[in-house]
């Protein structure tokens, strides 16, 4: 699971990783970052990691 919480007013993005990461989860992160970049000069990210599980290969496939 990859959970996203974005605060557009302050430009903060909190990511919580706990288990497997699916493509849809990753795409939600990308969308949140894109939105924050539009409205903020800088984006601050904090990541909370519980347990890292399987990451869907298709997330990285386009970059290989």
In a domain, residue 63? The reply is no
Q: Taking CA 53 as the corner, what is the angle to CA 37 and CA 23, rounded to the nearest 5 degrees?
A: 45
Task: Find the domain containing 7 and state its range.
Answer: 2-57
Q: What is the pLDDT of residues 1-37, one digit of tens each?
A: 889 999 999 999 999 999 999 999 999 999 999 999 9
Structure confidence at residue 54 (pLDDT): 86
Contact (Cβ atoms closer than 8 angstroms) between residue 39 and residue 4: no
Q: Grade residue 64 by pLDDT with cuts at 50, 70 and 90.
A: low
What pTM was estimated for this model as a whole?
Answer: 0.78
SS3 19: strand
Residues 6+ apart with CB under 8 A from 37: 43
In a domain, residue 62? The reply is no
In a domain, residue 27? The reply is yes
């Amino acid at each position: 699971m990859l959970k996203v919480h974005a605060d557009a007013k302050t430009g903060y993005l909190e990511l919580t990783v706990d288990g497997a990461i699916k493509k849809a989860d990753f795409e939600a992160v990308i969308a949140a970052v894109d939105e924050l970049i539009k409205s903020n000069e800088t984006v601050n990210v904090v990541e909370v990691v519980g347990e890292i599980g399987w990451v869907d290969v298709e997330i990285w496939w386009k970059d290989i």
